[in-house]
Structure 1
């Protein structure tokens, strides 16, 4: 099975998403690996929705909050939970799994970055988490490595990623200092990058699969506020990502956001982000 489909979604509570119709989407989506954020539940709740899948999860230390998981049709070769040292609040926010496909080793991460709030401890926790992500991105991007960090990263990287970017420049999720991390994530590896906050830093070499496939267009958005008519007017944010190493990004064959047909058919305030990767030995002449 050289072709593998990876989907990522913040379910906003696995039990609520299931009640609202997540199962119907999953039945027709053809997903091989599903990364989940904001599980807000225990393993038993995941097993009820995904009974025939290999599962690994990290439940948040705060009951009913956060939680990340990876569900796979392919057995795991290894799994890892957490990010950074004891100073980083990564409980229920970072999990990795390794799988083998056609002899190729693939690492998939499910990440749920803090939403943050300017001037509060929530933002301090977000800065520490983003710092730890820098270290992990550097470690993952080894020559020829096949790795992808997926999930709700809670930052719109560019003006194209938020419909109302002008009104959010001083709010968590679109602060220049936050966006600068993404300049680094997606800047050429080892090269100096002039970041949006005016500071020059070193690129980490990952590829933003969604932006690469969509091109220089607004969105496509992946999250919409429940307030007002945000969904109906497509006043959204693109904050759910597939961030891939260059070798893996070169094997992407398709990418899409599974936007809901209508407001009342949504089973989460986030839409699934789905990408196909060709891991066959013959991909790109291999």
Structure 2
């Protein structure tokens, strides 16, 4: 039996959107976010159920409606709320179809609102994690290029001020870059993505994150960037590209000072680089050997070892 609050959410959703769309979208997101962690998946499953009432049929539940709403709204508060709801619905997504969400989410990465970008990049991370066919859809829609543009931008004080304050949905500086780097890491599983990074300039921007996100509040962003770099080094030409872009010192610094997860990923990236005989002198000159030896010390995780 569908929960009464979820039934109300379905009834209040409307295409074309009504003035209450912001409130309804946040209500949908809160049904998930405010549920106990053990019950959030159950809420999502209900929201994704086929819904029918008075001749109105929604295959896929709230997902196709949210995608349709995004296509029809321009008002910033509504778009921020609906993109938040779409992201929350897609967390842990296991479906085979996503109502064209890949294309619209890639488009939202270009929106002027930092919140919309943050929600879209986080949703792309979830959708890309759901399977190869979704990753291909994201790539075909220009997702790698759009995500690269997001990680290349900086949340300066001026940018944050221009964004303004949404009292209902807070924005944390660096939130969109962290999610975008995570989505890029997922896309790196696809051979087509390996081929695209050189043209998009993705590698140098990921390197920049590893170099600059050294404060504690940037640790997750740095971790995601190190993971993305590791993933993109499956291709031999990308290994050479990273070295040419000055990425070895950034990986060494990450391996020396970052979180345990970031250290492991940076060590993995250095391992990938070491597979190229011609690049080994670059690793030695940059000081990779002492850093890697330090990671072998007792107390490190088995994966890092």
Same fold (TM over 0.5): no
Q: Which has the higher strand share?
A: 1
Q: Which has the higher helix share?
A: 2
TM-score for the superposition, normalised by structure 1: 0.29
Identify which of structures 1 and 2 has the higher relative contact order when contacts are C-alpha pairs closer than 8 Å and 6+ apart.
Answer: 1
Max Rg structure: 2
